Amino acid sequence: MATVREGLPDGRYGRSADQRADRKLKILGAVLGAGFLAMIVWFGYSYITGEQDMSGQVTGFKVVSDSAVEVRLEITKDTGTTGACTVRTLDEQHGEVGRKDFTFGKGQGDAVKVVTVRTTGRATSAELVGCDPVSGH
């Protein structure tokens, strides 16, 4: 009785379907891995070269007169960033009686500054609206 072989002889008719599938999976994995690595590099580069954050807070204020308030600000920013902060003053009824923007230049890093805000009436409080980096300077 003759022995019947199942399947094709090894190496005679090219790669098997399993070997072709393994090769395709390896190629797909390499492409996806390279894409993921490129995405990580892109996000890292964008973070380093993007605009730096700037923040601030009002640490105190003093009502100087019915038409002026001195506001003490603590600003946190990069020395290479120009930034602007907006301060507003409120009266007893929480109506805005004064608002002013203050710019902090590139040469200044973290700073504590006392700024004067002119008001249209007697202020009872002061608050920081926000601080943002300024582009184009």
Q: Locate tokens 């600003």: which residue?
A: 75
The reported pLDDT for the residue numbered 42 is 84
The whole-number pLDDT of residue 137 equals 46
For 76-101, the pLDDT digits (tens) are 887 777 888 899 999 999 999 999 99
Ramachandran sector of residue 82 (left: φ over 0; alpha: ψ -120 to 50; beta: rest) = beta
pLDDT at res. 59: 92
Beta strands in 12-95 (DSSP E): 55-65, 68-76, 83-90
> Are 126 and 89 spatial neighbours (Cβ–Cβ below 8 Å)?
yes
Nearest to 73 by CA among 129, 133, 120: 129
**C-alpha separations of 32 from 26, 35, 36, 70 in Å:** 10, 5, 6, 57
For the chain, which ranges sit under pLDDT 50? 137
Per DSSP, 5 falls in state: P
Q: What is the pLDDT of residue 122?
A: 93
Per-residue model confidence (pLDDT) at position 83: 83
